[in-house]
Amino acid sequence: MARVEADVYHIPVMLQECLEALHINPDGTYVDATLGGGGHTSAILQRLGPGGRLTSFDADDVAIAHCQHRFADELGKGKESRLRLIHDNFSTMSEHLPRGTVNGVLLDLGVSSYQFDHHERGFSFRLQAPLDMRFMAEGETAADILNTRSEEALSTIFFTYGDEPQSRRLAKAVVQRRALAPFRSTIDLRDLVVQHIPPHHQAKTLARLFQALRIAVNDELGRLERTLTEIIPLLAPRGRIVVMSYHSGEDRIVKNVFRANPEMLAIITKKSVEASADEQRTNPRSRSARLRVAERKGE
């Protein structure tokens, strides 16, 4: 597999805020649940001593290959290595880590720049590619959803996962279009939006539809809720969960899971934390980010 250059991955959002929220102990055990280009993993490693340990997950084989090269020196230390890379979704975390041992878990739920701009699975409406959108090569694709779900189900997906105000109109258009020919590529969906949405609204509509389909394909909200609940027993006393979300549905799930476990978690962020005005100007991906932190109770 060809190596991916680091600059195709996005600059980590709210990096300092995430590191401060993790409250890193140099000898502690940490998890970067969303490895991506390794930006957060690199920053955490810099704060770990020889006794610290970091496990980083990613379901994307390209991200894993990239980080195997980026962290080759650290990974080459064998048993002395502080880093372990796991090619799997973060929802499998409880299969790889003992209960009560983790001092901090970071989840950055944003999709990487590489996946948007270079991936061949159809995450971006700007590039022609198959309408796939799966993080791992299993399960139904975005094309499958567009070609088989009912008009009502499509409308619900567009509205719930994409906040799309024209969800019903677009769902009806999808059903009419697929009766003539099935959806196969990103261009098919882009052409449908161009035909039904005024030019000055097309880019935002496309972004919302592609987001909605990606979330539906990968069951991102259901997976997030289940994973957050499973993380809590993994935490050591005073271990922290730090979650950065980019969609109102994600943020709502994080808030609700934190609130639903008052006997186990102390909420550190009473309100979600947003990126500074300076960061929002220099890093547009940070504008929708919301950071929430909770801590496992106990001494």
Superfamily for 6-114+220-296?
A: Vaccinia Virus protein VP39 (3.40.50.150)
Q: Which phi and psi (to 5°) does residue 237 adopt? A: -50, 130
Which pLDDT band holds residue 127 (cuts at 50, 70, 90)? confident
Among 114, 103, 99, 95, smallest CA distance to 35 is for 114
Instruction: Show Cβ contacts of residue 176 under 8 Å, excluding neighbours closer than 6 positions.
Output: none
Q: State both tokens at 196.
A: 């039904």
Is the predicted pLDDT of residue 176 greater than 80, yes or no? yes
Q: In the chain, which ranges are E strands?
A: 29-32, 53-58, 83-87, 102-108, 235-245, 265-267, 290-296
Give residue-wise pLDDT tens across range 182-199.
Answer: 999 999 999 999 999 999
Is the predicted pLDDT of residue 117 greater than 60, yes or no? no
Q: What is the model's pLDDT at position 284?
A: 83
Q: How far apart are CA 13 and CA 99, in angstroms?
A: 29
Give residue-wise pLDDT tens across range 35-79.
Answer: 988 999 999 999 999 999 999 999 888 889 999 999 999 999 999
CATH 3.30.200.20 correct for 136-217 = no
Please report, for the chain, the start and end positions of each structural domain, with discontinuous segments joined by +: 6-114+220-296, 136-217
Q: How far apart are CA 50 and CA 41, in angstroms?
A: 15
Q: How far apart are CA 243 and CA 139, in angstroms?
A: 26
Q: What's the predicted TM-score (pTM) here?
A: 0.85
How many alpha carbons lie under 13 Å from residue 10 in its C-beta half-sphere?
21
Task: Reduce the DSSP state of residue 84 to 3 states and report it.
Answer: strand
Give residue-wise pLDDT tens across range 249-291.
Answer: 899 999 999 999 999 999 999 999 999 999 999 988 888 899 9
The DSSP letter of residue 263 is: T
The DSSP letter of residue 273 is: B
Determine contact, residues 242/291, Cβ cutoff 8 Å: yes
Mean pLDDT of the chain: 91
Of the candidate ranges 25-39, 122-136, 190-204, the one whose mean pLDDT is the lowest: 122-136
Task: Reduce the DSSP state of residue 60 to 3 states and report it.
Answer: coil
Name the burial class of residue 84, with classes exposed (0-12), middle (13-18) and buried (19+) by CB atoms within 10 angstroms of its CB: middle
Strand partners, 84: 55
Q: In 188-249, which ranges are E strands?
A: 235-245
Instruction: Show Cβ contacts of residue 209 under 8 Å, excluding neighbours closer than 6 positions.
Output: 125, 158, 162, 164, 170, 189, 193
Give residue-wise pLDDT tens across range 215-259.
Answer: 999 898 999 999 999 999 999 999 999 999 988 889 999 999 999
- For residue 96, CA distances in Å to 87, 92, 101, 234, 266 come to 11, 7, 11, 10, 25
Which pLDDT band holds residue 93 (cuts at 50, 70, 90)? very high
